[in-house]
Amino acid sequence: MASEEEPLRIAILGCGSIGTAILEGFVSHAVRQPESMALSACVTSSDSLIRLRDALGERCKHVTLGFGREPTQDMAEQADLIILACRPQDLVTLANTLGPRPTYAGKTVVSLLAGVSCQRIRQQLAAGGVRKDMSFVRVIPTIGARTGNSVSLLSYPETVSQSNIELVKRAFGKIGTVLTVPEELMSKATAVGAVCHALAVLAVNKITDASVAEGIPRSTAMALATQSLSSAAGFMAAEEGGITAEQLEAALSTPKGITLNSVVNLEKEGAGAAIGEATRAAIRYAESM
């Protein structure tokens, strides 16, 4: 297993939307510190490979790319972390591709599959012939991984060793922050992250459009909206000196000020209740998946 000084050997099996995002995040790290990582990634066809090469451009030389049975098995065999980034319905095919190589023993499998428990991953891989004597953990990263800004949720059964968990945290720590949650809260936490992203996108879009309608250039409005969100979030997330949402609202609420007026208007339009209800609906939806 890779110690802090040894390169992290990571194989990403499946490189669509999220697989490519984490690969790009890892590659950016590997470009800065080529000795720190050995990366490989596979897809299912030559067309997908071309798409992936186009996405990586020059950075391609930092990754071993491939498709098909032998390359996929070799990548898994040579990795410390085997990251599964296919859709749940493709898991059995992927398991058949991986097969029962004895050299997989003791490796850590990181599943990114939303809504699929560690136990189900283990069972489905075993049904396809993959060995059971590996550690299975779940990570739900976000698309921000591409720029090193993922908010990755991590959960794992108690049976997984601390050194394996540290390895997973070390890897995903390179592409953002890692929050550990109990597995029974994974779907709920995934839903909360999804709502926050949806809200941020909606808020930036609506605020930008309204600002442009009032005469502010689109690029300025967009920069204002995104950087204000990031600044407020940074304040609240800061480990030292971080403040709660209520404290921030109070700090921004000058009597008769613009911010407090905006809050009053948003509440009058029912925004607070709508956000609460959307969050609970997203949690219910995620749990029904």
Closest distance between ligand NAP and the C-beta of residue 203, in Å? Answer: 19
Please report, as a single letter, which amino acid is at residue 277.
Answer: E
Considering the complex, state which of residue 125 and residue 221 has its C-beta at the smaller distance from ligand NAP.
125
> What is the rounded CA–CA span in Å between residue 155 and residue 118?
9
Q: Is 240 helix (H, G, I), strand (E, B) or coil?
A: coil
168 C-beta neighbours (distance < 10 Å), count:
24
Residue nearest ligand NAP, CB atom distance: 16
Nearer to ligand NAP, 191 or 225 (CB): 191
Under the rule (CB under 6 A), what is the footprint of ligand NAP? 13-19, 42-45, 48, 85-88, 90, 93-94, 97, 112-114, 140-141, 143
Cα within 13 Å of Cα(103), Cβ side: 10
By beta-carbon proximity to ligand NAP, the closer residue of 37 and 86 is 86
Measured from the CB of residue 160, what is the shortest distance to ligand NAP in angstroms?
A: 19
Q: How far is the CB of 274 from ligand NAP (least distance, A)?
A: 24
DSSP string computed for 13-61: E--SHHHHHHHHHHHHHHHH-GGGEEEEEEESSHHHHHHHHHHHGGGGG
Closer to ligand NAP by Cβ: residue 38 or 114: 114
Judged by beta carbon, residue 85 or residue 154, the one nearer ligand NAP is: 85
In the complex, minimum distance from the CB of residue 269 to ligand NAP, in angstroms, rounded to a whole number: 30
Quote the distance between the C-alpha of residue 50 and its chain's center: 23
Nearest distance from residue 122's CB to ligand NAP, in Å? 16
Instruction: Please state the closest distance from residue 143 (CB atom) to ligand NAP, in A.
Output: 5
216, with CB counted inside 10 A (0-12, 13-18, 19+), is middle
Distance of alpha carbon 180 from alpha carbon 152, whole angstroms: 8
Q: Which is nearer to ligand NAP, 198 or 223 (CB)?
A: 198
